[in-house]
């Protein structure tokens, strides 16, 4: 059981660090023009970060472990739906349906 005091210290501490992290970019990089090489890196930050999020959310197991499970089939189904230019809601529903199906038969 986690103590209430510990929980609240964590919530307040985390809220403060998150606020500071979010504020730094908008506050200090305002109207400044980014130098060309830096602008190129900034452009490619989005695909790099999103791909990292997708990979970790699909393959991570308990703790720091990696697992291959039904989520991978769900993600592959989503990729096929995307290739067929399906609407984003259809893409997500296909992924959920495939994941549930694989879990049901395995």
Partner 1 sequence: MLAFAGASQFAALAVLAAGGGALTAIVAGTLVNLRFLPMGISIAPSLRSGPLGRVARSFAIVDPSWVLSRRGERDYDIEMLIGASAAQYVTWVGGTVVGVVLGPVLGDTKAWGLDVIFPAFMLALLAGELWRPGAKLVAVAGAAIAIALTPFAPAGIPIVAASAAALLAGRA
Q: Which residues would be at the binding site for partner 1 (CB under 8 A)? A: 2, 6-7, 9-15, 17-19, 21-32, 34, 37-60, 64-66, 70-71, 74-75, 78-79, 82, 88, 91-92, 94-97, 99-100, 103
Give the shortest CB-8-to-partner 1 separation in angstroms: 9
Give the shortest CB-14-to-partner 1 separation in angstroms: 4
Cα distance between residue 70 and residue 76, in whole Å: 10
Cα distance between residue 48 and residue 41, in whole Å: 10
Give the shortest CB-105-to-partner 1 separation in angstroms: 13
SS3 5: helix
Cα distance between residue 76 and residue 56, in whole Å: 15
Give the shortest CB-54-to-partner 1 separation in angstroms: 5
Cα distance between residue 71 and residue 85, in whole Å: 21
Cα distance between residue 37 and residue 105, in whole Å: 51
- Closer to partner 1 by Cβ: residue 19 or 105: 19
């Amino acid at each position: 059981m986690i103590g209430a005091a510990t929980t609240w210290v964590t919530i307040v501490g985390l809220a403060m660090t998150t606020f500071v992290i979010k504020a730094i970019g908008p506050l200090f990089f305002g109207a400044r023009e980014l130098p060309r090489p830096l602008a190129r890196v900034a452009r490619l930050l989005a695909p790099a970060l999103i791909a990292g999020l997708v990979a970790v959310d699909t393959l991570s197991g308990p703790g720091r472990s990696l697992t291959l499970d039904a989520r991978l089939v769900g993600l592959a189904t989503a990729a096929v739906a995307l290739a067929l230019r399906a609407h984003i809601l259809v893409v997500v529903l296909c992924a959920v349906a495939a994941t549930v199906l694989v879990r049901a038969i395995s």
